[in-house]
Amino acid sequence: MKRILLPHIICPACLPKEHQLSLSAHCEEDGDIITGTLSCKKCNRRFPIRDGIAHLIPDPDNGPSGGQWRYEEAEMTDRYLWSHYGDLLGVADFGVANSQWAEFLCALNPAVSFDAGCSVGRLTFEMAARSSLAVGCDLSHGFIKTARRLARERQLKFSLPLEGNLRESFCIELPDTWRSDNVEFVIADALRVPFAGDTFGQIASMNLLDRVSYPLAHLFEMNRVASNQRASFLFADPFSWSTSAAPEELWLGGTINGPYKGRGLDNVRSLLEGKCKILTPQWSISLSGVIPWKIRTHCNHYEVIRSEYLIAMR
């Protein structure tokens, strides 16, 4: 974990109180802490840094719960690598989703950026190319390890099924304009974001809301860590509500009755615009729409997902 992150980090277990963590670094290379411990003096919890990866979750030694285990499978990492970097691989008919998401980011923002549920990090790299520092967080150890490796080595080989037992190999090479010195990836929960309030000038939540166990708590956390004065929020989701992620009464859409009946995008929009004053200061929506993107199983089989998006500013 890069030392430059330290001033922004707080204890995820003490939230909503914000207590800074103190670092004891055992091994450090050029400002990158390879082994160490972050400790909270209030609750006495310790958060390890192992192989350069900060584990900023309240119970770092617990394994994945619910449906989260599938994001730890090696094949899933390779599928997301293809989905995030396919345009760099020159894949035919890949689509334009990645470049469209990047176009929605502020062209040049001196602020710090945050990508919640970053997976293997495409959008985080795009944010880093446009801001002073970009942080991606995900619960998946496999994804964070892969994103950090890509940042360090700047190239990565992987393969996916071509047909049956045949495999097709790919090699990602990061463009020179994407920086490694101002990007970081940490293991953290988007429901207990381990960063101080009012930290980030640019935030993103992409295809995550319908995966978390408490969607409103996720929006609340994103709102908390975004700058109060001047921030932009790129939000997208396919709204694939499922009880395997969250009980129906906590969905923010897709139901006939209840406070969040109707369509998810409409409900997220009105929450951001100040409904019930849950998310304050309120946001204004500058753009919305739908962008399709793909995830590959084998060379003749793809899943197409349509993500509805909002760009909010305040």
> Which residues contact ligand SAM (rule: CB under 6 A)?
68, 71, 117-119, 137-140, 143, 189-191, 206-208, 211-212
- Output the CA–CA distances (angstroms, integers) from residue 296 to 109, 191, 264, in the order listed: 33, 29, 26
Sign of CA dihedral 247, 253, 255, 256: positive
Cβ-contact 125, 133 below 8 angstroms: no
DSSP 51: T
Nearer to ligand SAM, 165 or 244 (CB): 244
Closest distance to ligand SAM from the beta carbon of 24 (Å): 26
- Output the CA–CA distances (angstroms, integers) from residue 300 to 90, 160, 306, in the order listed: 17, 12, 19
Nearer to ligand SAM, 21 or 187 (CB): 187
| Residue 9 CB neighbour total at 10 angstroms | 22
Q: Which residue's Cβ has the minimum distance to ligand SAM?
A: 117
Closest distance to ligand SAM from the beta carbon of 12 (Å): 11
* Whole-angstrom distance, CA of residue 225 vs CA of residue 234: 14
Nearer to ligand SAM, 140 or 182 (CB): 140
Collect all residues with Cβ–Cβ distance below 8 Å to 161 and sequence separation of at least 6: 167, 168, 297, 298, 299
**Cα-based angle 10, 314, 96 (whole degrees, multiple of 5):** 90
The runs of H, that is alpha helices, within the chain are 74-85, 97-103, 122-128, 141-153, 215-225, 264-272
Nearer to ligand SAM, 68 or 100 (CB): 68
Closest distance to ligand SAM from the beta carbon of 137 (Å): 6
Closest distance to ligand SAM from the beta carbon of 57 (Å): 9
* Whole-angstrom distance, CA of residue 268 vs CA of residue 176: 36
Closest distance to ligand SAM from the beta carbon of 113 (Å): 14
Closest distance to ligand SAM from the beta carbon of 296 (Å): 13
Cβ-contact 36, 128 below 8 angstroms: no
Nearer to ligand SAM, 100 or 207 (CB): 207
Which H helix or E strand runs over 161?
strand 155-163
Cβ-contact 288, 312 below 8 angstroms: no
* 3-class DSSP state of 68: helix
Nearer to ligand SAM, 32 or 221 (CB): 221
Nearer to ligand SAM, 109 or 119 (CB): 119
Closest distance to ligand SAM from the beta carbon of 40 (Å): 19
Nearer to ligand SAM, 27 or 290 (CB): 290
Dmax over CA atoms of the chain, in Å, equals 55
Nearer to ligand SAM, 211 or 224 (CB): 211
Closest distance to ligand SAM from the beta carbon of 117 (Å): 3
Closest distance to ligand SAM from the beta carbon of 265 (Å): 16
